[in-house]
Amino acid sequence: MIRYPWLALSTLTAASAVGSAALAAPTATLPVAATSPSEPVALTSAPSATSIAPPTPIAATPTITVEAVPEFAPARPAGGGRLPQSTDTTVSDYALTATSVRVLGVSEELSQIALGAIATQPGGTTSDRQLAVDVQALIATGLFAEVDVVSTIVNDAGIDVVYQVRPVVARSLQLQNARALTPEVAQQAFQTQLGQPVSPQAMRQGVERVNQWYEDNGYPLARVIDAQVQTDGSVQVAVAEGQLRSVNVRFFDSDGQPTDGRSQPEFLTDQLTLQPGDIFSVAAAETDLRRLYELGLFQVITVDLQGDANQTDLTYQLREVPARGVNVGGGYSESTGVFGTVNYNDRNLGGMGQNLDLNVQAGRRDLQFDGEFRNPYRASQPDTPGYSASAFRQRSPASNFNADVRLPNGDRPQEGRFGGNFTLERPVAEDWQAAVGLDVSRVSIRDGAGDLAPRDRYGNPLSFSATGIDDLVTVQANVANDQRDNPRNPTTGSHLSLSSEQSLPVGSGSILNNRLEANYAQFVPTRLFGQENPEVLAVNVQAGTTIGDLPPHQAFNLGGSHSIRGYNFSEIGGGRSYALASAEYRVPILTTPLTGVVFADFGTDLGSSAPVQGENGEEVRQGSGFGYGAGLRLDSPLGVIRADLGFSDRGNTRLHFGLGHRF
């Protein structure tokens, strides 16, 4: 072997002193579309792109595509892998051909990365100076704790170059800027790397697992922006999770133009779970959409996100329903003669979501009124219950007696109610709302002239007391679980309510009873006709019974637009107990606000109706019945307007109108 003076420097040893090995670019933003990296990224487009409006389910939160994995990018010398020549004059520039170049002590993956990071290549020339630069290049990758280089002369013009390296071992994990991501999840994601020599492939897989966890758990803006391995073996993972810089509300009219809203923005933002500084998540956005819809103030809610994964501005764009209305009318009725009416309704009193409803009817014979003020429970104020207060004086044909029931003078029974009600409401458990209240009513049965009429023309009692006047003092309790996407016009979810009314034996009649009811509805979206808006299969079952005294005016009635369509109100029966089942299939009519419906209803009084004898001893009521038919629903600013054509199993046909769905 021939030795040359420069070979005295041909064995080089170095220990890693570089701070870290970058597995991704030091900074990154959240690319959603082809935009400049330095520009803010619009996470949604125009409001219509992410509109969420009935009957669109709340689950239709905007989907945001994020770049999956930052690429592994070990440090490389400038100029495509060729290192700059050293200016160290102590290192020989004497050049020989590198007949072979090898990297020992690491996996094939790291060996290939090392060979790509150095300038010395098989067949090329090298020198002590070049080898020294190569050593520093390998250290700069952050993948190697120590590097030794040994050159061996093959002949006068060539050498074999061997790089003996010791890889960095990943020993611990550190998270940066993580709030949604827990250390346990991150540890699991990078478990194949920890305790092992650094592997870019294992690091990429860990990043992929973290990004997949964000996606699966409803954090569409979050991602890993940087992952580095320090020379002390710590794996540092930096994330951006979509922190909200601001949360705003804006109002738009029916043409999509900005407008001034009647609702107070501070009141609306107080109802939201997402606040500035929070991490945006789909689950929280869905909760906020439900809260806004449950206010009953908005027809359309659009979610808009602007910014990047580090700082995001969230805006709810709202289209309000008409909140106030005044109606003036008049007419003639058998009980009151000629009358005039005034109705005032404000569902957003003072822009704070409070409700005020007033109705006055005045005629020559009578003055009637009813009014209610309601301040609903707000989840933003969990310790403050919602409440409502009402007062009423009403008189109308007795709703619990059908048209066949007549008084001895031939008049239809008139039912008068005078009293008031006060109710408190608040949640009692997750997804369960409860309400308790006190109702005080004086119920009187009278003829057309206003005289008391305790019995009909066949001697059947029409009140519990013998005087025609019953006092009802009841304590009411109700619990409900509402999972509907939109209570006003649901397309998916369910609603369950259970109620009890306990009367106290005070006043005329001394009525003591307990009235129990249960009501369940399920809504299932389908697409049998392949339309953009889903069709809905809606099913409802309900039942009730009364324990104790049963005044005739408190009987459960079957028949009519709110029970069995195709029958008149109370035509089937009015008893102590009942069971009712209904099904509807609701089909949107193209893009219009109209919905077509086919329906079927069945109800029974469970044999609880007392025999009511008519002329010739015939019973007036039959106890059970079935109805079916079709109808239309119009989603209007006043609410859902309903028209149903029903056919009964007795061959009768009835046309029913109403506000709101049947259930």
Render pLDDT for 169-217 as a digit per residue (tens, 0 to 9).
999 999 999 999 999 999 999 999 999 998 999 999 999 999 999 999 9
Which domains are present in the chain?
1-30+66-240 (3.10.20.310), 41-65+244-278+280-320 (3.10.20.310), 376-659 (2.40.160.50)
Q: Which two tokens stand for residue 642?
A: 């309903």
Q: State if pTM tops 0.85.
A: no
What's the burial of 129, exposed, middle or buried (CB within 10 Å: 0-12/13-18/19+)?
buried
Render pLDDT for 331-373 as a digit per residue (tens, 0 to 9).
887 667 788 999 999 989 989 999 999 999 998 878 999 999 9
* Local confidence band at 463 (pLDDT 50, 70, 90 cut-offs): very high
Alpha-helical segments (H) within 341-499 = none
Q: Is 38 a residue whose pLDDT tops 80?
A: no
Q: Are 535 and 633 in contact (CB under 8 A)?
A: no
How far is it, in rounded angstroms, from Cα 109 to Cα 116?
A: 11
How far is it, in rounded angstroms, from Cα 541 to Cα 525?
A: 18
**Most distant CA pair in the chain, distance:** 138
Considering only CA atoms, give the Rg of the chain. Answer: 39
The backbone region for 657, taken as left when phi is positive above 0, alpha when psi lies in -120 to 50, beta otherwise, is beta
DSSP characters for 512-549? -EEEEEEEEEEEEEE-TT--SSPEEEEEEEEEEEEEE-
SS3 letters for 90-119?
A: CCCCCCEEEEEEEEECCCHHHHHHHHHHCC
% helix, strand, coil for the chain, step of 5? 10, 45, 40
Render pLDDT for 260-295 as a digit per residue (tens, 0 to 9).
999 999 999 999 999 999 999 999 999 999 889 888
Q: Which two tokens stand for residue 193?
A: 């790397």
How far is it, in rounded angstroms, from Cα 642 to Cα 646?
A: 12
Which residue, chain included where needed, has tokens 């006092």?
Answer: 471
Q: Is 532 a residue whose pLDDT tops 90?
A: no
How far is it, in rounded angstroms, from Cα 424 to Cα 403?
A: 37
Q: What average pLDDT is seen over the chain?
A: 83
* Local confidence band at 56 (pLDDT 50, 70, 90 cut-offs): very low
Q: How many Cα atoms are found within 13 Å in the side-chain-facing hemisphere of 117?
A: 25
Q: How many Cα atoms are found within 13 Å in the side-chain-facing hemisphere of 470?
A: 26
Q: Which residues contact 223 (CB under 8 A, 6 or more apart)?
A: 30, 66, 67, 211, 214, 239, 240, 309
Q: Are 29 and 310 in contact (CB under 8 A)?
A: yes
DSSP characters for 558-610? E-STTS-TTS-TTSSEEESEEEEEEEEEEEE-TTSSEEEEEEEEEEE-TT-PP
Average pLDDT over residues 311-319: 94
Phi, psi (rounded to 5 degrees) for 288: -65, -40
